[in-house]
A and B are shown apart, each in its own frame.
Chain A
Amino acid sequence: MEVLNQRSALLSNYEVLTLLRELESDHLARTKTALRIKKEEEAAGLPPRQQAPPDDVCENLRTVEVEAIQYLSADFQPTASQTPEGISQLTRNLAQWDLTKAEKLQIVNLAPTEPVELYVVVEELEDRFGDKMDDMLNTIKASLREAATPAANGDEPQQAMQVDHVVYSEFQEDYQGDNHWDYDANEVVFDDAGEGAGIEGDLHVEDD
């Protein structure tokens, strides 16, 4: 074994999650087919095969796959409200500011929607983008899907299928509530913008 390039590219959490979900669904499809074939053979009255077909399921891969999907789709991650289109739109919009690659990646991964979160990710945020912070936050918010859909697809599809019907009615009821909440959120944003401008002004005086 030889490592040719230790870090040839960086991946966003969403990309890894998509990849792992694909692997997971592949695996499930394969298990189902195997099960179906076995059942058909049994139904046809064939004697059970002497040697089970070599099961190439890798325990290590399954473990890391399931655990990583759990972590990446946990409710504290923004992945549930992200879409491929939203992310590519976000990266295109982020290009207008002079952010480093690492900062952009972290913005995509963490989707900071509050000033405090953005302060952590972007170095010297005030000096570099003092007055553009609200634009930045609004851009990030725009890239996120409004209502988080039940993201159970990847976890346990069989269960999710059953649960889906139950959840559906609740989800519709919530829809109204969500709308209200969104409007509230927007109002707060506008308030923030006003306050922020004042505070930034103060800071500039201090700096001088």
Chain B
Amino acid sequence: MFQLSIIKDTVAVQPAQFGLPPEQAITNDLNKKYANRVLHDVGLCICVFDLAEVGEGKVRYGDGCLWYKVIFRLVVFRPFASEVILARVKSSDEDGVRLSVGFFDDIYVPLVYLPEPTAFDSKERAHFWLPGSEVTSSHELLDSALTDRMYIDAGDVVRVRVESDEFHDDEPGPPKAHEGVQQARELRRPPYTITCSMSEQGLGPTSWWRNAGVETMDEG
């Protein structure tokens, strides 16, 4: 779920920080720049792991900062495809389930990756699974007895498999002269989304499988 990425960058240490040991000041600056941000095609940065290489601090014309060329290792959140992770259900809607791991919550389980057969109960605002049922249409599913339904409620801890992840860079380009200032803000996509699946034996809310022995596995 976490990885180390090696990154090269140039940081400016403000004169006010000259009292600190240089590595401390550089680490602070790097954390300020990267922590809790999404790097395109890398992942969500957590914090600096260590500094691998630091060049000589140089003063440039125009400011009093010391500029360091740094190669450092960064702790990045980027679960790999097919990795199994634990997460909490944040919310559910007609399109699927949204999960959260606390520090990151653009994790989605679309309908196709929910266990078969499932239906969305709009009264409870939650999806439910009917294990062992043959019916497929959502009408028939919604007619089922409440006791047979296994709900995926908000706040449940679920075990999911990462299927894919996507990065979007929706930086607005430079404002165009003929459009003027008023610019309709289009829907912003999250910069990093993870798509997960729970359509497998053993996946889904952990409470479903807590006491399931080998017998359950034989069905699948």
Q: Spell out A's residues near B (CB within 8 Å).
A: 1-13, 15-16, 19-20, 23, 54, 56, 58, 60-61, 63-65, 67-68, 70-71, 74, 76-77, 102, 106, 109-110, 114-117, 119-121, 192, 195-196, 199
User: Which residue of chain B has the shortest Cβ distance to A123 in the bound complex?
Assistant: B82
B49 within 8 A of A: yes
Residues of B within 8 A of A23 (CB): 47
| Contact of A116 with B1 in the complex, beta carbons under 8 Å | no
| Contact of B101 with A71 in the complex, beta carbons under 8 Å | yes
Number of interface residues of B (CB under 8 A): 53
Residues facing A in B18-37 (CB within 8 A) are 20, 28, 31-32, 35-37
Against A, the Cβ 8 Å flags (1 = close, 0 = not) of B182-220 are: 000000000000000000111100100110111011100
Besides A1-B9, A3-B42, A7-B5, 9 other A-B contacts (C-beta < 8 A): A4-B6, A63-B103, A64-B35, A64-B47, A68-B102, A106-B83, A116-B216, A119-B217, A120-B203
| Contact of A2 with B7 in the complex, beta carbons under 8 Å | yes
Instruction: Please report the C-alpha to C-alpha distance between residue A10 and residue B159 in the assembled complex, in whole angstroms.
Output: 20
| Contact of B214 with A196 in the complex, beta carbons under 8 Å | yes
Given A58-B28, A120-B84: A10 in contact with B213 (beta carbons within 8 A)? no
| Contact of A65 with B47 in the complex, beta carbons under 8 Å | yes
Please list 6 pairs of residues, one from A and one from B, whose beta carbons are closer than 8 Å in the complex, sorted by A's number. A2-B7, A3-B5, A8-B4, A61-B35, A120-B161, A195-B213
| Contact of B2 with A60 in the complex, beta carbons under 8 Å | no
User: Which residue of chain B has the shortest Cβ distance to A109 in the bound complex?
Assistant: B1
Residues of A within 8 A of B16 (CB): 54
| Contact of A116 with B157 in the complex, beta carbons under 8 Å | no
| Contact of A64 with B103 in the complex, beta carbons under 8 Å | yes
Instruction: Please report the C-alpha to C-alpha distance between residue A58 and residue B28 in the assembled complex, in whole angstroms.
Output: 8
User: Which residue of chain B has the shortest Cβ distance to A54 in the bound complex?
Assistant: B16
- The total of Cβ contacts below 8 Å across the A-B interface reads 143
Residues facing A in B148-173 (CB within 8 A) are 157, 159, 161
Q: Spell out B's residues near A (CB within 8 Å).
A: 1-9, 14, 16-17, 20, 28, 31-32, 35-37, 39, 41-42, 46-47, 49, 71, 73, 75, 78, 80, 82-84, 86, 101-103, 157, 159, 161, 200-203, 206, 209-210, 212-214, 216-218
Q: How far is the CB of A70 from chain B (nearest CB, A)?
A: 5
Instruction: Please report the C-alpha to C-alpha distance between residue A208 and residue B58 in the assembled complex, in whole angstroms.
Output: 72
Instruction: Please report the C-alpha to C-alpha distance between residue A84 and residue B144 in the assembled complex, in whole angstroms.
Output: 49
Instruction: Please report the C-alpha to C-alpha distance between residue A74 and residue B35 in the assembled complex, in whole angstroms.
Output: 22
Given A68-B102, A106-B83: A119 in contact with B35 (beta carbons within 8 A)? no
Q: How far is the CB of A3 from chain B (nearest CB, A)?
A: 6
Q: How far is the CB of B8 from chain A (nearest CB, A)?
A: 4
Residues of A within 8 A of B35 (CB): 58, 60-61, 64-65
Residues of A within 8 A of B80 (CB): 10, 102
User: Which residue of chain A has the shortest Cβ distance to B101 in the bound complex?
Assistant: A71
| Contact of B4 with A9 in the complex, beta carbons under 8 Å | yes
Instruction: Please report the C-alpha to C-alpha distance between residue A7 and residue B103 in the assembled complex, in whole angstroms.
Output: 20
| Contact of B3 with A10 in the complex, beta carbons under 8 Å | yes
Residues of A within 8 A of B159 (CB): 110, 117, 120
| Contact of B8 with A6 in the complex, beta carbons under 8 Å | no
Most A C-beta atoms less than 10 A away, residue of B7, B14, B210: B7
Instruction: Please report the C-alpha to C-alpha distance between residue A58 and residue B71 in the assembled complex, in whole angstroms.
Output: 21
Instruction: Please report the C-alpha to C-alpha distance between residue A106 and residue B85 in the assembled complex, in whole angstroms.
Output: 8
| Contact of B17 with A56 in the complex, beta carbons under 8 Å | yes
Instruction: Please report the C-alpha to C-alpha distance between residue A13 and residue B86 in the assembled complex, in whole angstroms.
Output: 11
Residues of A within 8 A of B17 (CB): 54, 56
Given A68-B102, A199-B218: A60 in contact with B5 (beta carbons within 8 A)? no
